Amino acid sequence: MNPTPDRITTATIEADPDVPLVRITRDFRASAAQLFAAHTDPQLYARWVGPESVGTVIDHWDARTGGSWRFLNTRGDEEYGFHGSFHEVSPERIVQTFTFEGFPDGVSLETMTFEDLGDGWTRLHSQSLVDSFEGREAMLASGMEVGINEGYAALDSMLAAGEVA
Tens-digit pLDDT profile for residues 40-84: 999 999 999 999 999 999 999 999 999 999 999 999 999 999 999
Is residue 45 within 8 Å of 55, Cβ to Cβ? no
Nearest alpha carbon to residue 92 among 16, 12, 35: 35
pLDDT of 6 above 50: yes
- Phi, psi dihedrals of residue 109, rounded to the nearest 5°: -105, 120
Number of domains in the chain: 1
Residue 69 counted as domain residue: yes
pLDDT digits (tens, 9 = 90+) for 142-156: 889 999 999 999 999
Instruction: State the pLDDT at residue 2.
Output: 47
Q: How many whole angstroms separate alpha carbon 65 and alpha carbon 90?
A: 8
Mapping DSSP to helix (H, G, I), strand (E, B) and coil, where does residue 73 land? strand
Parent domain of 101? 20-160
Residue 136 counted as domain residue: yes
Residue 36 counted as domain residue: yes
Residue 30 counted as domain residue: yes
Nearest alpha carbon to residue 82 among 67, 104, 100, 59: 100
Residue 3 counted as domain residue: no
CATH number of 27's domain: 3.30.530.20
